[in-house]
Chains A and B, each alone.
Chain A
Amino acid sequence: DQQVKQNSPSLSVQEGRISILNCDYTNSMFDYFLWYKKYPAEGPTFLISISSIKDKNEDGRFTVFLNKSAKHLSLHIVPSQPGDSAVYFCAANLGNRDDKIIFGKGTRLHILP
């Protein structure tokens, strides 16, 4: 019973264009949503997060949007660069109540030259 869902296993985007990775969740009690990036043979690396009380958070080329009514969030990367090719995990936790991270299955992003 997955609480965090990433329905696209992979995505290919031209270098310089916008990459949009989508994520849906089922638990309305989540306090924080996070995006992790993972390269082969490495562990996940924190990328950006958003609190459940906000609808947008921006950090350089990365922006996360949260739509609580739809239980949906998305990660926008613009412009996409070759080094962005990786697996991106959408994740969530319950904040101070419980800080274990609940992950989605991941989306593999390919940036095409």
Chain B
Amino acid sequence: EAGVTQFPSHSVIEKGQTVTLRCDPISGHDNLYWYRRVMGKEIKFLLHFVKESKQDESGMPNNRFLAERTGGTYSTLKVQPAELEDSGVYFCASSHSRSEQFFGPGTRLTVL
């Protein structure tokens, strides 16, 4: 069974540009989570989807971040416009029925 996959693995963009990160959860997992780890800090929760609905988006930093999960399958996280402080590693995780969360390898975002 394939694990959680994320694309791209790395992204380097300039301040003010737009970046879209993608997450493909484990097949059949209704729950999808986004987390972020900024350099030197802890991994922080961003939001939680149940199928295509946002269950909890309390961790989203501001309105420059937009997450979608059309059709309840893969999810995208768009940052527009990107700022320097958005640099970090963005992790996606999925779970079945609120059980163990399986994490993807992450997307390392660098904003110059």
Contact: B106 with A43, CB < 8 Å?
yes
Contact: B105 with A43, CB < 8 Å?
yes
Q: Which listed segment binds A: B11-19, B40-48, B64-72, B77-85?
A: B40-48
Contact: A41 with B103, CB < 8 Å?
no
Contact: B48 with A104, CB < 8 Å?
no
Question: How many inter-chain residue pairs (CB < 8 Å) link A and B?
Answer: 51
Number of contact residues on B: which range applies?
A: 20 to 34
Contacts of B95 in A (CB 8 A): 99
Interface bits B1-39 vs A (CB < 8 Å: 1, else 0): 000100001000000000000000000000101010000
A interface residues, tally (CB under 8 Å): 20
Contact: A43 with B98, CB < 8 Å?
no
Which residue numbers of A lie inside 8 Å of B, CB to CB?
A: 2, 4, 36, 41-46, 89, 96, 98-106
